[in-house]
A and B are shown apart, each in its own frame.
Chain A
Amino acid sequence: MIRAAGFPEAAVRARARGGPSAVFPDADGYGGAVFGAAAPEGDDLDRVRLVPPVFVPHRLEKMYELGREPLYSDVELGRSVGGFTAPLPVFLCAFGSTQVGTGLGVAVSEQAGRLGVPMVIGENVVPMHGYGRVDAVEDGLLARIRAYARAVPDGLGGVVVQQSTEDADAEVWNLVYSDPDATRLLETGRLAFELKVGQGAKPGLGGMTVLSPSVAAAVADRYALDDSLGDVVLRSSSPGTFTEEILRQQLRLMRNNYPRARVWVKLHPGRDIAHAVRVAWCAGADAVTVDGAEGGTGWAPTVFLDHVGLPLAECLARIGKHDGDLLVSGRIWEGARALKCLARGATAVGLGRAALIAAAEDPSDGLIRLIACLDLELRLLLSALGKYTLTDLTDDDLWSPTDDQL
């Protein structure tokens, strides 16, 4: 037996035994696990600390308004998120079209609706789960929209429907735009379409799912299939070809074709992220979502999870000051990380894996309780910073051990 101390011998042996299937997380866990980069030692955002000041002029301002000492319950968290009114600066990210999302899609939609939290419905839901108008599928796109629309209070929230390059074949946006089940949302300005340019878990790649050979055969005319993984088939979407001009014109066409819908764009954490978000805003995007490399629920090669894409903290730093609506996601589940992103310029933060896990824990109320915790933590933290509205947050509220000027 050859031994190679200090060399990743086991990983090499795994590849020698398994071939291309060893490039991915263990397929046996597929359907029961969500993916996304692991960061056991924490990342730059984790190392940043929230730093309340001693002197709190904003609290004094609040006291003038209230006529008494302000408390954390006086914090106002409601704000406009991508053209929708949200009760707190939180939205639900699209889930990968994995089996994990299957069955939970409607439960998550119903809970998000009750909260009035904006919700993104992911690409591939129509090609993989069905639309749900003629094909009576339980977890199709329409079932999710209906569940949300039934539960959502007047004046709050909104549904965002993603479309990728392959979804364009299914004309997802056209289907939704004239669907009677979406009319109430559309007429109250609570429907958006999100152009998916990329995602955090695998920047530069399209969506990937693992299918049984029989299911794969049914979608063979629309997707690239790779059967080198053994018993299962890897189904890939294309990443889509974008240049500055292609992105700009696609957004203009969205605004032209769907004048009553909001327009969102989701970008992967590319090195040109600062330029790309500004191209999207200039072309009229109501919101740009940036998915840090820590994000992602979908199936991805481990080399991407470990090595590819900018971390969320670096994305925020590169984007810097701006006037646009910037939505971010990436390992967010509690108040501190959320507040750090907001202080660094995000308008709202997205829940991905956290929302799926919470809904799986309790399909009727798990997500609602998780967001109640987030709501409370945000109030406590903002109040501790001596601030009572989100717009007062600044970079001064954060301290980083790597920040030279502090």
Chain B
Amino acid sequence: MTDTLTTLPPGTREHLLSPVTQAALRVQNAITTGARDYLGAHGFQELMPPLIGPVTDPGIRGSKQVDVDFYGHRYKLMTSVILYKQASLLAFDKIFYVAPNVRLEPLETADTGRHLAEFTQIDVEVRDASREDVLELLQGLVRHIVTHVLRERRADLDLLGRDPAAFEALLREDFERMTHRAAVAQLRGLAHGQSADAEIDWAGEKLISEQTDRPFYIVDYPKGSRGFTDGESAAEPGILRNFDLIAPAGFGELASGGERTHEYRRLIERMRETGENPAKYAWYLDLARDGLPASAGFGLGLERLTRYLCGLDFVWQANAYPKLPGIASP
């Protein structure tokens, strides 16, 4: 990969006329087509994503939300549709969205190559599922997407110089599962000072991603590293029943998910533990008080998956109108 600091998106015209952009967007189109095929065949209902609401996924890792003046009420642009995913299970047992998100990420993420302020997630939620159920589902989904892209967009991968051999291990072997604790130990073994109580930091995520040839899961993040919707283990208090999917070769995180907090009292406690004011989440808590289904699910980053499948240096290459943190652009 090239030096991230030397490469920012060119102007809109140059970006749109670039064969790289065009090939990446064709691959991206195949990804959403493949995802819809797979999820549809597995009984999922696609819903249209809400764009604004009184609250959204609480800001994580220092990212800001965008306020919208909704007829005098302060609304938010969606940072993720997680709350709506849980609510939607009142209507359907298996749902997904192809959902746009806006997160004003910290300025320090501008040059990670993996952050966009505006991006899209394939957001999946399954009623009464366990984390293990959705780990299987996500592995199947990613394999199907890769197979579909290799079949439909081989010429684009060739144009981008992406060797299909990069996906042989992904298609052949199960994705390994590593606990957060083991990931911390591995990073410390690589002389990276990773905190045991926190999210894997961005440098650590890249480093651990470079150690393997196929995607793998990091599971069991500690409480305190994630928002209140990530469910806490009943058997191991302090450990969350969640995961990240990490792509190999330095591409880093592709997806996050897990079992959800859904019981009213636990939601109240977890909101306070994450510094949230429950009053802000009134509509969601009202639903939870009358019962929200248990569920598990994930959000798969569309531009990040595109970047990985295409072997792009930067995630912005997988977006027609990329918006990098702190950089004003159309």
Contact = CB atoms under 8 A, between A and B. Distances in A.
Nearest to B199: A256
Interface stretch (A171-179, A207-215, A333-341, A379-387): A171-179
B325 A252 contact: no
Interface stretch (B14-22, B25-33, B158-166, B272-280): B272-280
B273 A174 contact: no
Contacts of A260: 108
Given A174-B64, A175-B64, A255-B195, A168 B275 contact: yes
B64 A171 contact: yes
Given A169-B280, A174-B64, A252 B197 contact: yes
Interface in A159-197: 163, 165-166, 168-169, 171, 173-175, 177-178, 180, 183, 195
A253 B60 CA distance: 9
A249 interface: yes
B225 A256 contact: yes
A246 interface: yes
Contacts of B65: 171, 174
Contacts of A30: none
A249 B274 contact: yes
A52 interface: no
Interface in B46-78: 59-65, 73-74
Contacts of A183: 107
B43 interface: no
B192 to A, nearest CB: 13
Interface residues of B, number: 33
A144 to B, nearest CB: 19
B275 A169 contact: no
Contacts of A241: 272
Interface string A227-268: 000000000001011110110111111111111100000000
A284 interface: yes
A280 to B, nearest CB: 14
A250 B273 CA distance: 5
Given A168-B276, A180-B326, A256 B61 contact: yes
Interface residues of A, number: 36
Contacts of B59: 171, 174, 257
Given A253-B224, A259-B201, A168 B277 contact: yes
A174 B224 contact: no
Nearest to A284: B197
B198 interface: yes
A250 B106 CA distance: 19
Nearest to B60: A257
A40 to B, nearest CB: 39
Contact of A177 (B106, B195, B272, B277): B106
B272 A255 contact: no
B280 A256 contact: no
A284 B195 CA distance: 11
B277 A169 contact: yes
A255 B275 CA distance: 12
A248 B222 CA distance: 12
A250 B275 contact: yes
A353 B288 CA distance: 45
Nearest to B105: A178
B39 interface: no
B207 interface: no
A163 to B, nearest CB: 8
B132 interface: no
B223 interface: yes
Contact of B275 (A178, A195, A248): A195
Contacts of A249: 223-224, 273-274
Interface in A258-309: 258-260, 284
Contacts of A254: 275
A173 B277 CA distance: 14
Contacts of B63: 174, 178
Nearest to B269: A246
Contacts of A171: 59, 64-65
B198 A178 contact: no
B104 interface: yes
B273 A246 contact: yes
B62 A174 contact: yes
A259 B193 CA distance: 12
Contacts of B104: 174, 178
Contacts of B195: 255-256
Nearest to A175: B64
Given A175-B64, A178-B62, A178-B325, A255 B197 contact: yes
A391 B59 CA distance: 41
Interface in B199-251: 199, 201, 222-225
A356 to B, nearest CB: 28
B275 A256 contact: no
A259 B195 CA distance: 10
Interface in B282-330: 325-326
B275 A253 contact: yes
A195 B272 CA distance: 12
Nearest to A259: B201
A256 B197 contact: yes
B278 to A, nearest CB: 9
B184 to A, nearest CB: 13
Nearest to B108: A260
A253 B195 CA distance: 12
Given A240-B272, A242-B272, 14 more contacts: A163-B275, A171-B64, A171-B65, A173-B62, A174-B65, A178-B62, A178-B107, A245-B269, A245-B273, A246-B273, A248-B224, A252-B224, A256-B195, A259-B201
22 contacts: A168-B276, A169-B280, A171-B64, A174-B63, A174-B64, A175-B64, A178-B63, A178-B107, A178-B326, A183-B107, A221-B74, A238-B277, A245-B273, A250-B274, A252-B222, A252-B224, A253-B274, A255-B195, A256-B195, A257-B61, A259-B201, A284-B197
Interface of A: 163, 165-166, 168-169, 171, 173-175, 177-178, 180, 183, 195, 221, 238, 240-243, 245-246, 248-260, 284
